[in-house]
């Protein structure tokens, strides 16, 4: 977290009030930095103007890699490196390769996608003391964070807007 | 916005608030272990130690310690393997398939069911290793050049497919389970102090719960569910092909894949019920795992139990209709031969007893459900024993017909898997959040008892 910054924290207690509030507050020209919630709130990402995640595309690409790697491995081993005559059957029996190709596809798609997710969210066991604006956002509160430097309005104006749109309490937090 | 029909009963009872969910679930993780837990854990560890001794002896002395003979080369080992893998199907089914079908009742049980899946697959893997006889050579099953010479594994073999299927399933289930655990570990981290804060901090991977992260989390959960659904079906399909692609009468059957998958779901749900009915009482979670959950699971048990029943009857019909004398004999021998008692135990436990769940009052009766959930798993164990041992025990040469008598080590190795399973499950139940807090919180508003009261 950058030091010397001032934030306004709007604490909400209801997810529907929050989603509605986010829409209203944004139309009033306040830039919201981020909202922290204890559980995934449906419609919140759309209200904040976030685009849908591209992670499913990453999963598809990783899955295709898995398909190619699995097939290549089996064709290379059984077709080229050491072809075996098993009852006169083809050296490269594609139908027999379907199960393992499927498994390698699923394996790489899941591991690749979750790995990408961890990387872009900065998650990992080394990150054991993350900075939380308000720890209650892992319990039952929805915390809206507004960076004062990025807004033209002052403290009082933002506080008024937040309170008008359902914030139960408004706190100020300076990082130093 | 999610719309829930007002006629549906609430999924979480007792008028719980979001904060109550945190407190109720974290209480188990934060408190001292209860007396019941310590007793159960001690018993499991004793079972595990005795089982480890038997397993060690099996490895040290060789498979001669088991009751196998030259006619019956697979008996309890593969029976136990298929049984555990089957049990290990419910977790991913509950979290993946029920997520795709938007069945919200899954949220209270998916965490424990997924944990059960992972532990059951580990137990199954222990039998794969044990039945190899020389487990230190297990890496020969991997696509490595044979003894580092030139020959590769045979990719035509379902046993090699199984290696890929089971290891992929274990990995993906573990990842799916852990991704779900991350936000809940963050909740525990923020409540903890001292060493516990460091440990749960590391376990939580630094989760902060921002809307951006949740949006990505939801995206990957859906894709993981989409990937796991065909995966879970593929695993038992491939296990069934270990038998179906052989030429043994009684195994060489094209209906095996769907029949095994239905049986797996059947036994898995029964095991989830057995565990959850105990867990909800011990940990005071009656408001989260309600009668409605039990009833929904019983409906799936009666469905899959009926599919299994139809599969048994279809097998018989085809054995007669195909006109193959070996096939017909294998099935008549199952029913009336020396293993008739195993066959009829299977029929009673799997086909007849679950039909009681057609009656609503039985589905909603905790005691009957508990007993029947155990009966189902006894039946499913017999199913695998019937398929494996009775198809082998009378082969083409009557002079080599034999019976299988388990030894102390067959029993001991089976006990090992129970010890391992319950030790791991009890550790999970004590130190991990046993119910997915974040998901339960997300359904609270649309379907909690409190909301219902407001509506009336």
Which B positions 193-212 lie with beta carbon below 8 A of chain A? Answer: 198, 201-212
| Closest CA of chain B from A16, distance in Å | 9
- From the list B153, B172, B217, the residue facing A107 with the nearest CB is B172
Give the separation between CA B100 and CA B114, rounded to whole angstroms: 16
Give the separation between CA B216 and CA A117, rounded to whole angstroms: 7
Has residue A161 been placed in a domain?
yes
Estimate to the nearest angstrom the gap between the alpha carbon of B15 and the chain centroid: 32
| CB B308 within 8 Å of CB B262 | yes
Higher pLDDT, B7 or A154: A154
Which residues of A are less than 8 Å from B18 in CB distance?
A: 38, 139-140
Residue B41 reports pLDDT greater than 70? yes
Give the separation between CA A41 and CA A25, rounded to whole angstroms: 17
A169-174 β-sheet, strand order:
A34-36, A142-147, A6-12, A169-174
- The verdict on B337 touching A (C-beta cutoff 8 Å) is no
For strand A6-12 and strand A34-36, is the pairing parallel, antiparallel, or unpaired?
A: unpaired
Q: Are A15 and A67 in the same domain?
A: no
Give the separation between CA B405 and CA A81, rounded to whole angstroms: 45
Mean pLDDT over residues B27-42, rounded?
89
Q: Are A102 and A77 in the same domain?
A: yes
Q: What pLDDT, on the 0 to 100 scale, is given for residue B173?
A: 92
Q: Are A48 and A62 in the same domain?
A: no
Nearest to B80 by CA among B130, B124, B134, B138: B124
Q: Are A42 and A75 in the same domain?
A: no
Q: Where are the domains of chain B?
A: 18-144+152-451
Structurally, chain A folds into a number of domains equal to 2
Residue A3 reports pLDDT greater than 60? yes
Q: Are A69 and A98 in the same domain?
A: yes
Mean pLDDT over residues B336-348, rounded?
93
Higher pLDDT, B4 or B423: B423
Which B positions 223-262 lie with beta carbon below 8 A of chain A? Answer: 223-224, 227-228, 230-231, 234, 238, 241
| Closest CA of chain B from A120, distance in Å | 9
Which residue of chain A comes nearest to B192, CA vs CA? A135
Q: What pLDDT, on the 0 to 100 scale, is given for residue B422?
A: 94
CA quadruple B96, B102, B106, B108: dihedral sign? positive
Which residues of A are less than 8 Å from B158 in CB distance?
A: 99
| Closest CA of chain A from B141, distance in Å | 13
What is the tens place of the pLDDT at every residue in A31-77? 888 899 999 988 888 888 888 899 999 999 999 999 999 999 999 99
Nearest to B230 by CA among B81, B125, B95, B96: B96
Mean pLDDT over residues B200-225, rounded?
92
Q: Are A62 and A102 in the same domain?
A: yes
- The verdict on B156 touching A (C-beta cutoff 8 Å) is yes
CATH superfamily, domain B18-144+152-451, is: Formate dehydrogenase/DMSO reductase domain (1.20.1630.10)
What is the tens place of the pLDDT at every residue in B426-450? 999 999 999 988 888 888 876 554 4
Burial class (CB in 10 A: 0-12, 13-18, 19+), B184: buried
Q: What pLDDT, on the 0 to 100 scale, is given for residue B4?
A: 54
State the DSSP code for B348. Answer: I
Residue B380: pLDDT band (50, 70, 90) is very high
Give backbone dihedrals phi and psi of B71, rounded to 5 degrees, phi first.
-85, -45
Chosen for mutation from B179, B185, B214, B454 (greatest number of chain A CBs closer than 10 Å) is B214
Residue A6 reports pLDDT greater than 90? no
State the CATH number of the domain containing residue A154: 3.30.70
Has residue A1 been placed in a domain?
no
Give the separation between CA B24 and CA B16, rounded to whole angstroms: 10
What three-state secondary structure class fits B422?
helix
Which residue of chain A comes nearest to B16, CA vs CA? A140
Instruction: Tell me which residue range forms the domain holding A149.
Output: 6-52+130-174
State the DSSP code for B388. Answer: I
Give the separation between CA B154 and CA A140, rounded to whole angstroms: 55
Q: What pLDDT, on the 0 to 100 scale, is given for residue B8?
A: 65
Q: What pLDDT, on the 0 to 100 scale, is given for residue B30?
A: 87
Q: Are A39 and A59 in the same domain?
A: no
| CB B92 within 8 Å of CB B114 | yes
What is the tens place of the pLDDT at every residue in B307-330? 999 999 999 999 999 899 999 999
Give the separation between CA A110 and CA B171, rounded to whole angstroms: 9
Q: Are A107 and A84 in the same domain?
A: yes
Helix (H) or strand (E) holding B234: helix B211-244
Residue B266 reports pLDDT greater than 50? yes
Q: How far is CA B449 from CA A38, B103, B297, B453, in A?
A: 20, 18, 21, 6
Q: What pLDDT, on the 0 to 100 scale, is given for residue B416?
A: 95
For strand A6-12 and strand A169-174, is the pairing parallel, antiparallel, or unpaired?
A: antiparallel
Residue B452 reports pLDDT greater than 50? no
| CB A173 within 8 Å of CB A4 | no
- From the list B1, B182, B209, the residue facing A36 with the nearest CB is B209
Q: Summarize chain B as % helix, strand, coil (round to 5).
A: 75, 0, 25
| Closest CA of chain B from A152, distance in Å | 24
Nearest to A98 by CA among A76, A65, A77, A75: A75
Has residue A44 been placed in a domain?
yes
Which residues of A are less than 8 Å from B241 in CB distance?
A: 99
Mean pLDDT over residues B99-119, rounded?
87
CA dihedral of B370, B315, B259, B78, whole degrees rounded to 10: 80
What three-state secondary structure class fits A132?
coil
Give the separation between CA B133 and CA B311, rounded to whole angstroms: 33
Residue B453 reports pLDDT greater than 50? no
Helix (H) or strand (E) holding A173: strand A169-174
What is the tens place of the pLDDT at every residue in A128-175? 888 888 888 888 889 999 888 888 888 888 888 888 888 888 888 887
Which residues of B are less than 8 Å from A140 in CB distance?
A: 17-19, 22, 441
Residue B451: pLDDT band (50, 70, 90) is very low
Has residue A105 been placed in a domain?
yes
CB contact under 8 A, A45 and B211: yes
Burial B126-162 (b: 16+ CB within 10 A, else e): bbbbbbbeeeeeeeebeeeeeeeeeebbebbbbebbb
pLDDT above 70: percentage of residues in chain B = 95
Give the separation between CA B119 and CA B276, rounded to whole angstroms: 15
| CB B401 within 8 Å of CB B71 | yes
Helix ranges (H only) for chain A are: 15-27, 44-47, 55-75, 94-121, 155-164
Higher pLDDT, A14 or A100: A100
Give the separation between CA B252 and CA B269, rounded to whole angstroms: 27
Residue B387: pLDDT band (50, 70, 90) is very high
Chosen for mutation from B173, B189, B216 (greatest number of chain A CBs closer than 10 Å) is B216
- The verdict on B46 touching A (C-beta cutoff 8 Å) is no
Q: Are A115 and A160 in the same domain?
A: no
The answer to whether ipTM exceeds 0.90 is: yes
Helix ranges (H only) for B132-210 are: 158-191, 194-203
CB contact under 8 A, A138 and B187: yes
């Amino acid at each position: 977290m950058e030091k010397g910054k001032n934030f306004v924290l709007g604490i909400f207690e209801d997810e529907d009030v929050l989603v509605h509030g986010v829409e209203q507050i944004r139309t009033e020209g306040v830039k919201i930095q981020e909202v922290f919630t204890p559980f995934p709130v449906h419609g919140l990402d759309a209200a904040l103007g976030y685009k849908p995640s591209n992670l499913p595309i990453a999963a598809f690409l990783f899955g295709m890699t898995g398909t190619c790697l699995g097939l290549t491995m089996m064709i290379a081993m059984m077709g080229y490196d050491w072809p075996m005559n098993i009852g006169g059957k083809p050296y490269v029996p594609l139908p027999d390769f379907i199960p393992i190709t499927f498994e390698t596809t699923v394996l790489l798609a899941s591991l690749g996608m979750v790995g990408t997710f961890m990387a872009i969210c900065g998650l990992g066991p080394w990150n054991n003391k993350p900075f939380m604006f308000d720890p209650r956002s892992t319990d039952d509160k929805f915390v809206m964070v507004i960076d004062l430097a990025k807004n033209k309005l002052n403290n009082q104006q933002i506080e008024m807007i937040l309170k008008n749109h359902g914030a139960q309490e408004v706190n100020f937090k300076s990082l130093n | 916005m999610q719309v829930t029909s007002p006629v549906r009963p609430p999924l979480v009872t007792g008028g719980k608030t979001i904060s109550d969910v945190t407190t109720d679930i974290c209480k188990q993780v934060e408190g001292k272990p209860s007396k019941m837990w310590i007793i159960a854990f001690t018993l499991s560890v004793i079972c595990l130690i005795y089982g480890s001794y038997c397993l060690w002896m099996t490895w040290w002395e060789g498979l001669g310690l088991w009751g196998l003979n030259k006619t019956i080369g697979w008996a309890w080992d593969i029976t136990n393997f298929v049984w555990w893998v089957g049990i290990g199907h419910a977790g991913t089914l509950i979290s993946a398939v029920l997520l795709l079908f938007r069945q919200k009742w899954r949220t209270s049980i998916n965490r424990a069911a997924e944990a059960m899946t992972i532990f059951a697959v580990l137990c199954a893997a222990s039998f794969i290793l044990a039945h190899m006889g020389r487990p230190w050579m297990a890496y020969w099953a991997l696509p490595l050049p044979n003894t580092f010479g030139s020959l590769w594994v045979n990719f035509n073999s379902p046993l090699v497919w199984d290696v890929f299927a089971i290891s992929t399933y274990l990995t993906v289930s573990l990842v799916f389970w852990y991704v779900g655990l991350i936000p809940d570990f963050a909740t525990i981290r923020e409540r903890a102090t001292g060493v516990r804060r460091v440990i749960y901090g590391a376990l939580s991977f630094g989760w902060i719960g921002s809307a951006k992260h949740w949006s990505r989390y939801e995206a990957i959960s859906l894709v993981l569910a989409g990937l796991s659904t065909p995966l879970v079906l593929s695993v038992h399909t491939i296990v069934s092909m270990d038998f179906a692609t052989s030429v043994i009468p009684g195994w060489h059957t094209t209906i095996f894949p769907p029949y095994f998958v239905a049986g797996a779901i059947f036994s898995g749900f029964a095991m989830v019920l057995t565990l959850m009915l105990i867990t909800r009482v011990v940990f005071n979670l009656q408001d989260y795992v309600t009668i409605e959950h039990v009833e929904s699971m019983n409906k799936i048990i009666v469905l899959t139990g009926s599919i299994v029943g139809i599969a048994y009857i279809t097998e018989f019909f085809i054995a007669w209709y195909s006109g193959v004398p070996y096939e017909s004999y294998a099935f008549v021998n199952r029913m009336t031969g020396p293993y008739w008692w195993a066959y009829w135990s299977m029929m009673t436990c799997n086909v007849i007893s679950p039909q009681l769940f057609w009656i609503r009052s039985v589905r909603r009766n905790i005691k009957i459900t508990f007993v029947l959930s155990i009966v189902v798993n006894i039946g499913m164990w017999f199913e695998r024993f019937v398929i494996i041992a009775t198809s082998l025990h009378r082969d083409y040469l009557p002079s080599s017909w034999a019976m299988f008598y388990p030894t102390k080590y067959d029993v001991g190795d089976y006990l090992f898997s129970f010890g391992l399973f319950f030790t791991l499950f009890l550790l999970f139940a004590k130190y991990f959040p046993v119910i997915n807090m974040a998901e339960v919180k997300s359904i609270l508003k649309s379907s909690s008892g409190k909301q219902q009261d407001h509506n009336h």
